[in-house]
């Protein structure tokens, strides 16, 4: 009997108002229609005890030290890391709606009253070192102007224009660093695509599909570890 092939690990990251939730569920349906075994995992996973603490913090129902909440977001990923690995190795595609990159981009966007960064990039990255490494990151990008056109931001803690601007800049920094690391490593295993999410739903969906479909044409390498 042929060994089960490792399935692709897809991460979708995006800014508020980028249509991330809709695009993620449309991708899930499309892959299912295509006959793929696929599971969607959303981070933060607000259903676990750690996730409930995160949820309460995001809704401003509780206060937490900036470092403590950052570590909870990371712990929330680690509590699902072995599940992700098992699913992938048993041939089930995993789509993560947000992952470690959101962890860095948001926490490193926090500033004090004089605009100084509260947590360094390196500090934010360190608890996620060693997590399962995705094959592809699709970053759904939208300008603050376009987000405003779409009705502005929501009610949760990070949904403010200044914060979203810094988050966008941080995502670009993370992309650059990831691409530098990939070009230095022997195995170029991570692809990072910036998707212009300011277009119509159909155009964005088609663009996403054009990057996902090719993942199934070749064999996935054995699962890597983030920043290792």
Q: Give residues in contact with ligand 2DT (CB under 6 A).
A: 43-44, 58, 73, 98, 102-103, 106-107, 158
Smallest separation, CB 106 to ligand 2DT (Å): 3
Nearest approach in angstroms of CB 125 to ligand 2DT is 11
Closer of 80 and 220 to ligand 2DT (Cβ): 80
Least distance CB 7 / ligand 2DT (angstroms)? 22
Is 36 or 146 the residue whose CB approaches ligand 2DT more closely?
Answer: 146
Q: Say whether the peptide bond before residue 44 is cis (omega within 30 degrees of 0).
A: yes
Compare residues 6 and 139 and give the one whose CB is closer to ligand 2DT.
139
Dihedral angle sign, alpha carbons of residues 177, 225, 24, 91:
positive
Q: Shortest distance, CB of residue 131 to ligand 2DT, whole angstroms?
A: 11
Contact yes or no for 81/128 (Cβ under 8 A): no
Contact 103, 123 (CB under 8 A): no
- For residues 159 and 73, give the distance between their C-alpha atoms in angstroms, rounded to a whole number: 17
Pairing state between β 191-196 and 93-97: unpaired
Nearer to ligand 2DT, 62 or 185 (CB): 62
């Amino acid at each position: 009997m042929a060994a089960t092939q490792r399935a692709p690990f897809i991460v979708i990251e995006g800014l508020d108002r980028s249509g991330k939730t809709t695009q993620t569920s449309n991708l899930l349906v499309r892959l299912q229609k295509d006959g793929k075994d696929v599971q969607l995992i959303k981070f933060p996973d607000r259903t676990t005890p750690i996730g409930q603490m995160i949820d309460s913090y995001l809704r401003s129902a509780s206060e937490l030290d900036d470092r403590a909440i950052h570590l909870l977001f990371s712990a929330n990923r680690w509590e699902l890391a072995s599940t992700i690995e098992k699913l992938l190795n048993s041939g089930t595609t995993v789509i993560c709606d947000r992952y470690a990159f959101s962890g860095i981009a948001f926490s490193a966007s926090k500033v004090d009253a004089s605009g100084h960064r509260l947590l360094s990039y390196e500090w934010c990255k360190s608890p996620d070192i060693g997590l399962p490494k995705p094959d592809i990151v699709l970053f759904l990008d939208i300008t603050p102007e376009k987000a405003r056109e779409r009705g502005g931001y929501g009610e949760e803690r990070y949904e403010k224009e200044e914060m979203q601007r810094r988050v966008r800049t941080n995502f670009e920094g993370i992309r650059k660093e990831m691409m530098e690391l990939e070009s230095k490593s022997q195995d170029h295993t991570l692809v990072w695509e910036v998707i212009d999410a300011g277009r119509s739903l159909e155009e964005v969906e088609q663009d996403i599909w054009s990057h996902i479909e090719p993942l199934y044409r070749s064999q996935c390498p054995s699962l890597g570890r983030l920043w290792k």
